[in-house]
Amino acid sequence: MQQVPLLKGSLACFECRQFKDYDGSDHFILLGLLELVSTLKGVPLTFSQGRYIDPDLQPYNDIL
């Protein structure tokens, strides 16, 4: 894989190879093939219903 910029402290990283792109009029839609996944343990940053939540304090099934 090529060297790609990573956000320090990220719990997950997905490296993809560009597969296809589509013209979406005022934007492009890019499809990628997953090449590599890496993960770390930790509490994820979770955004749901217009706000950030702590999944340890509010279980996922409470927000779905």
| Residue-level pLDDT at 60 | 56
Domain count, the chain: 1
pLDDT, one tens digit per residue, over 20-52 is 999 988 999 999 999 999 999 988 888 888 888
Residue 3 located in a structural domain: no
Residue 55 located in a structural domain: yes
Which pLDDT band holds residue 61 (cuts at 50, 70, 90)?
low
Distance (Å, rounded) from C-alpha 47 to C-alpha 36?
24
Residue 26 located in a structural domain: yes
Residue with tokens 């955004």: 47
Residue 5 located in a structural domain: no
pLDDT value at 10 more than 60: yes
Contact between 42 and 11 under an 8 Å Cβ cutoff? The reply is yes
Distance (Å, rounded) from C-alpha 46 to C-alpha 51?
8
Residue 2 located in a structural domain: no
pLDDT value at 7 more than 60: yes
Domain that holds residue 26: 12-63
Residue 52 located in a structural domain: yes
Residue 1 located in a structural domain: no
Distance (Å, rounded) from C-alpha 20 to C-alpha 58?
38
